[in-house]
Structures are given as structure tokens and as C-alpha cells.
A and B are shown apart, each in its own frame.
Chain A
Amino acid sequence: MLILILRRLGSMVLIMLVVSLILFAIFETDKLAVAGKVLGPYSSTEQREIWLEENGYNQPFFTRYVIWAGNAMRGDFGQSLQLKVPVSQVLWPRLANTGILALCLFAIMIPLSLFMGVLAGMKEGSFQDRAITVFSVLTTSIPEFASATLLTAVFVFGLGWLPGTSSMTAGFSFKELVLPVLVLLLYDFGYITRMTRASMAEVMNSQYIRTAILKGLPYQRVIMRHALRNALIAPFTVIVLQLNWLLSGVIVVEVFFAYKGFGKLLLDAALFGDIFVIEACTLVAVFVAVASQFISDIGYTYLNPRIRFS
């Protein structure tokens, strides 16, 4: 187990190094273009060269990469071109905002979708199974912008219960979080529900569940003690990987509701050509992706004794 964790950590570091190198090569091989982005389109070539010289850009590529990577590791990603503040000053609060969104979403979605999935998979082909499956396919197939429009029409303009934007200008407010969370929930819960359902249905058809039933155990114990743990091994991986999706995939929702999150920051930076922000955001996104993969691998191993003790 320890060996496995160490090995995984090692490969995680390696992936980060490779990705950051590729990232750096894409954005900063063409030095003049970097200077052009920083100084603006009307700067002259001499001005750009002076800027390059001042900022140490005339050093060899790998030296620059090492310095850049070192700074990034200390949290120094340079200055945002659009906002004129250090990137780290905007990055972390934005990340925290998206984190809050994700936390609220997960707090509702995981118990709900696991419960629904187990309920559906418990009796394959029953009414409850079909109802849940149809409903979850339906919600998953509506794109986020469509459901966001629909929900806004109903709850903001129709009933007037909720605010239409979630920019949190007057400080943190739960009310403003409701619609973004709801949209994400509608989109994503069906996926986990169906994963859980499939896994649960497979477990319920397995021979050890038959053994448990024919041992005369009460039905509740068969489900809670024998089925659940095995049924949750597969969805666990999927759930952890949702973290990754949330970070980069919530752009639509954040833009729609003007929520100041990570996705919105990345989109704005991309539109403006704010290369240092893009670099920082990409690095963070890759880190989250690799880390969630790591957690899901280790967690899977831990949950499954067949792997744990072999």
C-alpha cells in the first residue's frame, strides 16, 4: 500500500513536470509575442526587446523554465495583464468561490444520487428503477445553458423568488448560490445516479447476494451490509473525478450567473489574452485533475480488499 502511494505520488510529480513544460513551451517559446502581449499591440520592437532584456527573457529556454516553475511553486505566477494585480491575488479567491460552489453541490448531489442509484439498482426493472432511470437520463440530457435559462425564467422572472445573478457584490449570500447549484445538480446527478444504479444492479445479481438472502438475513441487512459496500466501489471513482469536471466545466454556469469563480476567470483571461493568468489557471486545473485521479486510485484500492491484500 505504502509502495503504491509512493509510486503514484512519483508519477503525479512527473505528470505535472511534463505538462508544465509543454504549457511553458506553448506560451513562452515566442518571446517577442510575450512582450507584445505585455506591452500592448502598439509597442515597437525596440521597446519589446528592452522589456525582454529587463525581465530576464534572454536566458536559455530551460533556465527560464526552471525559474518560472520555481516561482509557480511558490505561488508567484506573475502579474495579470488585464487586472494589473499579481495573478495569485485573483486566482485564490476565485478558486475558493468555485470551491464553495462545488462543496454545496457535492453536499446535496452525492447523498441524493447515491440514494437514488441504490434505490433504482436494488430492484432492477421495477417501477422505482424505471422512474429514476428515465428522470436521470432526462435531466442529464438537458444542456446547462438550457436548464439555466429555464430555471431563471421560472424562479427569477416568473416567481421572483431568487436573484438572477450571483456576483455576490453585497457579500456572500446563500440565496445567490441556489440557482448555479441547481443547474449543476440537474446536469450531473443523473450521471452518478446511473453509475450507482448499474453497479448496484450488478451486485444485486451476484451470487454472494443470493447467498446472503438464502442465509435468511433480513432484507435490510442484505442491502446495508452485503450490497452497499461492493456497489459503492465503482461510483466512488466517478465521484472523485467529478471534482475535475467541476473545476473546468462550470464555465457555462459561472458566466451565465456572473459568478466570480475559477471558470469565469479562465474564460476572461483567454478572451483578453492574459497569458500569465491562463498559465496559472491551466496549472491549477491540471493539478486538480492529477490529484483527483490519485485520490480515486488510492481510495479504490482501499475500498476493495481484493486489491488491498494482494
Chain B
Amino acid sequence: MNNQEQPVLDIKDLCISYYTRAGEIPAVVDFSLTVKPGETIGIVGESGCGKSTVAMAIMQHMGSNGGIKSGSIKFKGRDMTQMSDEELRQLRGSEVSMIYQEPFAALNPSLLLREQLMEVPLTHEDINREQAYERAREMLANVKLPDPDRIMNSYPHQLSGGQQQRVVIAMGLLSKPALLLLDEPTTALDVTVEAGIVKLIADISRKYGTSQIYISHNLGLILETCDRVFVMYSGEVVEEGTIDSLFTWPRHPYTHGLFGCIPLPTADKNAAPLKPIRGQLPLPHERPQGCYFGPRCDHFQAGRCDGDKVDIEHVTGSAEDHMVRCLRWQEIDHTKEAPGGEAKEAMELGGPVLEVNQMKKYYEVIDSSMKALISGDRVKYVKANEELNFNAREGETVAIVGESGCGKSTFAKVLMGLEGGTDGEIKHDGKDVSETLVRDRTDKQISSLQMVFQNPSDTLNPSQTIGGQISRVIKKFGVASDKDEVFNMVMKLLDTVKLPRDFYYRRPRQLSGGQKQRIGIARAFAGNPSTVIADEPVSALDVSVAAAVTELLMDIQRENKTTLLFISHDLSVVRYLSDRIVVMYLGHIMERGTTEEIFEPPYHPYTEALLSAVPIADPEVTKREILLEGNLPSVMNPPKGCPFCTRCPRRIGDICDNEMPPERQVTDTHRIKCHIPIEELQKVEPVIHVPAPEERLGKPEVPASTH
């Protein structure tokens, strides 16, 4: 590595503003950061806190209305804010490169990847096309892409999301940059793919000595990748330090708040529910006096916290670079700031509400290729769901987990009656609904089975008021018809989802993402459903908002004894809120059981890999690393035997490739579909190791979970 003395990047007192019609909006205030060679810095915070703005400022690509007001960004000693366009151009892509959140959008759809990769060294170095091709090919192999030659000659849309992100990473590394900026590089990817990319990113800094700035909202990922971390809130750093010091001894109330919002593997929905941060992130021009976090802070002291601007100071007794921007950090009893809110009573489960027996859903696909036309074999079946069996009781939360393409959304569609099932039955309240489409169902059936959707913005009608949309549901399902009665019910629902009553007259565009999702929940519960399907209800939301919405969903469930089917890919959330878990892969249920059974051996090898892929924001929790190779096979052409055999790290032989594994019964509730005998799976070590409370260094006693 080059000069150890000189930092790769040195940002001092950076202030960035956006200039809009409303005037100047300070996006980032007094931001300072140094990156040493080979170091990985994490910047964490919720959306709108200015973390991406910092990245774009480093790239000096601010758009037409953004500008650096003061401060300096020194790259290897040269101030980037003073550079000419040409100097910047020579730096970008060769010395500093960037990896983006959505790999698909970041690649040019109509150029071959070969072209897009080769142009990087061709622009920045004096080499010919053959050398550039060789370099690009080599780099693709280095980011562990199989068959680099084929990828070189592909268009972006011909690759999977994980492969695309690897290509973008290869592109960023092609000219051996000194600094790599990663802006939420795995947010758009599946968990197991994410684990692979995170591993790759960690390897890169080791292999090439590249310094990195890793931007994420996920504390778990930051922990796995970074050396130091900066917590940002509303445009400024509120706490910074090494991973060990900051994660073990957080000192800022906001950092505590963030930890309280994420379900740790020890969390339990009844004993220690999530503790959302109240209020909302202030808009940049509505920032309060003094401490920006003041209005949301439990330790706010009038006359002190709302006085002068708070300076960042060193945390005495902690590591040298552990800094915090809080006046009261020494007075707060940090041992009481452990994650987990007030304990709630566990719910009693009622009788069975939903029974799924041998449910199958096949799609017919007409193959229009020449080959199929000639062979006459034109109709193919996509087996989206293959023999699903499980049931759910009143008041129970059953989670369906799996990567995208595993068939979990297809199941939701059949259950809702948007599509008919092919075979088997789904009994809801004792009646088979698998073949009754939604238009043939009675209002009663429809209202008793409702759904909360993933993207709240797309599910609300933009041209109607909130009140109108909810009243319509109430009237439609015949819950009430009298005008005043309906109005009162909407008001009560708004209270239930903790929104102000005057939202009745608002339109969706006036609401934030979290508020829209609350409306989505109110809409789903308006018809007093007995079962609600929640399809990734919080994955599009920020951590603190997600925690609040999750808690809300569970409070309403508790109150109404609703059966909740929770579809998700995030195992930490699932672990936290569900009673039972169904793990799906390629249309099959690979394992099902109670939450405790799923999270402890014996595991299905796929569950094992999923567990290992969950990032955990606790430095004292250790995990076994299991990386899945390859991609999810196409549902058009699934493996002949066990669906997981192509990626299974525990494959035992030909039997896996050729024969469908039997469903083995571990306990009454726990089933595993695998060729490996249960006794052997039983010997597997737990993936996640949580130290006992008394062995812990930093965090005070965490309320023990109930199992």
C-alpha cells in the first residue's frame, strides 16, 4: 500500500446545500471524515439523513441544484472541490469508483457488458482493446462470476440481480481504484445473494487494499463489512467510532433508538418488543434549535438540548475515535437503553382458521421457440407451488420465507383468489376457497381474507381521499352502511393505526411511506378480517418506520385475534414476530415448524444457509458462514430430484439429483424435506451463537426470550 501517513480521503467541515425555489436547504452540515488506506468506513442512517449526498459530493456529481457550500474534500492531498472538470474526470472511475443500489439501472441496457467493462481501462489507461478485454475478463473471474466469456458477451438483462451487481463491482475495480464508494449495494438483492456480495466486498479490501465507504441503513451489514462507522441523523454525524466500541457501547440516544428498531436474534415479540423511535425525521428546513434529535429523544431537557448547536465530543473512556454529539451522554444511564420495549402478554391461539392441503399451482406456458414448434412439445408447466401443506390457527402468525421466485407470492395470489389453484384445497373458515376466484367469492369471504401489500405507494388510489378509500371498504363489505356510522368507523381505524383524524381528508401523495402503509393496514382491517396476508409489509420502509409499522400490525392482531400470514425474506423480522415458519424454495416447502424449531438444529440445509445470510447488528453474536453457490434454478426447468440439489452444500450424492426427498417428521410440528436422515441433521451445530447475558461485555442484560 502507498504512503501510510497520508489518508486516502480527508473530508473537513463539509457543508452541502440544495438550492430550490423554497430557498437554500442544508442537506449535510459540518461533515468530517478521514479514510486511511485499506480501511472500510460505514455510514449508517435512515433515508433523508444525507448519507447518499455525501457519496455524491465525494464523486463531485451533485446535480444542477446541489452545491458544496464550505469545507474541503481532499483526495490523496488534492482538494476535489477545486478541481477542473477534466481533472475530476480523470479521477472518476480510475481512482475513485462507485457501486450503486440498483445494479440493473446502473448498467446500460443496450450495450454489451464487454463494451461497458472495457471502456474503463481504455479511457483511463494507455492500453489496446485486447489487453482491455483480458483485464475485464480477469476481473469478472475475480468477482467469482462463472463463465466470464459468456457474461462479456451478454446484455445486462440476461443476468440475474446478483450477477449484475458483481459486474458493477468488477467495473468499479477494473482500474484498481484507491477508494470505492458503495451506496446500499445489496438493498435490492435477495438475502443469500446479499451474503455473497458482502463476502466479496470484504475480500476486495483485503486483496486489493482498496479503501471503502459503505453506505447502508442496515446496521447488521455495516457490522459485517466495516472497520469504523458513522451514524448520521438529519445531515450531521451524531456518533462515530470503531465497530467494536460503537456497537458494544453506543452513546447517542439515536444510536440506541436504531438498535431498538431492529429485531436481534434474542428479541421476542412478547417479552421484548421492538421500540420504534417516536416522531419523524425533520425536514431539512424544519430542523429544531440545538440538538436535531431533540424532539424525538427520551432524554430531551428543555433549556439545554434546544439551546446552542451541539458539538461532537470524544467519549471519555472509550476508544480514541469514538465521538458523540450529545450534551447528556454522560448523564444517560446507557444500561437502560437496551433494545426491547415494554413486555406484552403472549396471545392465546384459537382453533384452526386456515388449512392448506396438497395445494398445487401450475402455470401453463406456451413455448413459442422454433424448437418447440417443430417438436410439437409446446405446452410447458411452471410449477409455482408444489404440494403445499400447512395450517394456521386463530391469532397465530405464520411466516412464509424464501428468496424471490420461491413461489410465496403465487401462494398469496391463490389464497386471495386472484388466481385459481390447480389442485388440492385451501380451507379458510372451513370452506375450500382454492378454486373460487375473488369475483365468485361472497363479500363475507373476501372481507375475512385481506392483504397488506409490499409497496404502499402503489396500492392507494392517488386521486381519492384516505377517508373515501377506507369508507368504501366498510360499505362494500357491508360492515356498516349508515353515513355517520361509517365515518365514525373510519375515525376509529385511523386511531387504531395511530394517525391523526384529519388524515381523512388527505390524499395519498400528502403522506409519507410509513403513513401510507398504516393506511394500507387500516384498509385491510376495515372489514374485520379473520386472516390477513402481509406481503413484505415493511421491506420498503426505513428501519425506525418499519419497527413502528411492525409493532402496529402486531398490536392490531393481538386485539382482533387475527391470523397473520407474514411473507418475507428477512429472517430476523420473521424470527421476531412469527409463531411458526414455512421455508419455501422453488415452489416446495423445504421445512416447516415453530420458530424455535426452525432456528435450531436439525435444519434443512437451505434454512441453514438462509440463517447464515442474516446480517446481525450485534458484534458479540457469532455465525457460521455458509455461502450458496450459483443461482436459483429456473422454475421452467427445475432439477429432477431435490429442488435445492444444485446449490446444496450438504449434497450427499446422486440420490439428491434424481429423487424427490421424503418429508421427514422431526416432531409433531416440525417437518424437513431432505434425503439426509434427521439424526445426522441433528448433529449440525447451530448457525447463530448468541452469548449468554452474563458473558456479554457491553450491553446490559437483554431480556431473555421465552423459549
A residues near B (Cβ < 8 Å) are 2-3, 125, 206-208, 210-218, 221, 225-226, 229-230, 233, 303-306, 309-310
Using A213-B92, A214-B93, A306-B157 as known contacts, say yes or no to A208 and B109 having CB atoms under 8 A apart: yes
Q: Is A215 in contact with B120, judged by CB distance below 8 angstroms?
A: yes
Q: Which residues of B contact A213 (CB under 8 A)?
A: 61, 92
Q: Is B119 in contact with A215, judged by CB distance below 8 angstroms?
A: yes
Which one of A3, A208, A233 lies within 8 Å of B105 (CB-CB)? A208
Using A216-B124, A218-B123 as known contacts, say yes or no to A225 and B111 having CB atoms under 8 A apart: yes
A-B contact pairs, 7 of them (CB 8 A): A215-B97, A216-B94, A217-B89, A229-B110, A230-B108, A230-B110, A233-B110
Q: Is B108 in contact with A221, judged by CB distance below 8 angstroms?
A: no
Q: Mark B111-155, 1 if CB is under 8 A from A, else 0.
A: 100010001100110000000000000000000000000000001
* Total interface residues in chain B, CB < 8 Å: 34
B368: Cβ under 8 A from any A Cβ? yes
Q: Is B155 in contact with A216, judged by CB distance below 8 angstroms?
A: no
Which one of B100, B123, B368, B370 lies within 8 Å of A211 (CB-CB)? B100
Complex CA distance for A206 and B104, rounded to whole angstroms: 11
Q: Which residues of B contact A309 (CB under 8 A)?
A: 155, 157-158
Cβ-closest chain A residue relative to B181: A214
Q: Is A208 in contact with B107, judged by CB distance below 8 angstroms?
A: yes
Cβ-closest chain A residue relative to B65: A125
Which one of B91, B105, B158, B368 lies within 8 Å of A216 (CB-CB)? B91
Cβ-closest chain B residue relative to A209: B108
Q: Is B93 in contact with A217, judged by CB distance below 8 angstroms?
A: yes
Complex CA distance for A192 and B299, rounded to whole angstroms: 61
- B61, B93, B97: most-surrounded residue (chain A CB, <10 A): B93
Which one of A214, A215, A303, A310 lies within 8 Å of B123 (CB-CB)? A215
Q: Is B93 in contact with A216, judged by CB distance below 8 angstroms?
A: yes
Complex CA distance for A42 and B106, rounded to whole angstroms: 75
Q: Which residues of A contact B368 (CB under 8 A)?
A: 3
Q: Is A226 in contact with B92, judged by CB distance below 8 angstroms?
A: no
Cβ-closest chain B residue relative to A212: B108
Cβ-closest chain B residue relative to A215: B93
Q: Is B92 in contact with A216, judged by CB distance below 8 angstroms?
A: yes
List the 4 shortest-distance A-B pairs measured between CB atoms, nearest first.
A216-B93, A216-B92, A215-B93, A207-B105
Q: Which residues of A contact B119 (CB under 8 A)?
A: 215, 217, 221, 225
- A3, A211, A217, A309: most-surrounded residue (chain B CB, <10 A): A211
Instruction: Give the number of A-B contacts (CB < 8 Å).
Output: 84
Complex CA distance for A217 and B94, rounded to whole angstroms: 10
- B98, B110, B124, B171: most-surrounded residue (chain A CB, <10 A): B110
Q: Is B123 in contact with A125, judged by CB distance below 8 angstroms?
A: no
Complex CA distance for A233 and B110, rounded to whole angstroms: 10
Cβ-closest chain B residue relative to A125: B64
Cβ-closest chain B residue relative to A208: B108
The main secondary structure of chain A at its interface with chain B is helix
Q: Which residues of A contact B102 (CB under 8 A)?
A: 207
Complex CA distance for A303 and B64, rounded to whole angstroms: 31
Q: Is B94 in contact with A305, judged by CB distance below 8 angstroms?
A: no
Q: Which residues of A contact B98 (CB under 8 A)?
A: 211, 214
Cβ-closest chain A residue relative to B88: A216
Cβ-closest chain B residue relative to A305: B155
Cβ-closest chain B residue relative to A7: B368
Complex CA distance for A207 and B64, rounded to whole angstroms: 15
Cβ-closest chain B residue relative to A213: B61
Q: Which residues of B contact A305 (CB under 8 A)?
A: 109-110, 155, 157
Q: Is B123 in contact with A304, judged by CB distance below 8 angstroms?
A: no
Which one of B97, B100, B110, B373 lies within 8 Å of A304 (CB-CB)? B110
Q: Which residues of B contact A230 (CB under 8 A)?
A: 108-110
B90: Cβ under 8 A from any A Cβ? yes
Q: Which residues of A contact B107 (CB under 8 A)?
A: 208, 211
Question: What's the least CB distance linking A162 to chain B, in Å?
Answer: 43
Given A3-B373, A213-B92, 16 new contacts (CB under 8 A):
A207-B105, A207-B106, A208-B106, A213-B61, A214-B97, A215-B92, A215-B120, A216-B90, A216-B120, A217-B89, A217-B119, A217-B123, A218-B89, A304-B110, A305-B110, A309-B158
Complex CA distance for A310 and B156, rounded to whole angstroms: 12
Q: Mark B80-95, 1 if CB is under 8 A from A, else 0.
A: 0000000001111110
Which one of A217, A218, A225, A306 lies within 8 Å of B109 (CB-CB)? A306
Using A217-B123, A310-B157 as known contacts, say yes or no to A211 and B109 having CB atoms under 8 A apart: no
Question: What's the least CB distance linking A5 to chain B, in Å?
Answer: 12
Using A208-B105, A214-B59 as known contacts, say yes or no to A226 and B64 having CB atoms under 8 A apart: no
Complex CA distance for A2 and B105, rounded to whole angstroms: 29
Question: What's the least CB distance linking B357 to chain A, in Å?
Answer: 37
Complex CA distance for A229 and B110, rounded to whole angstroms: 7
Cβ-closest chain A residue relative to B85: A219
Complex CA distance for A206 and B105, rounded to whole angstroms: 7
Question: What's the least CB distance linking A275 to chain B, in Å?
Answer: 43
Q: Which residues of B contact A2 (CB under 8 A)?
A: 370
Q: Which residues of B contact A304 (CB under 8 A)?
A: 109-110
Q: Which residues of A contact B64 (CB under 8 A)?
A: 125
- A217, A225, A304, A310: most-surrounded residue (chain B CB, <10 A): A217
Complex CA distance for A125 and B120, rounded to whole angstroms: 30
Q: Which residues of B contact A229 (CB under 8 A)?
A: 110-111
Cβ-closest chain B residue relative to A207: B105
Question: What's the least CB distance linking A3 to chain B, in Å?
Answer: 6
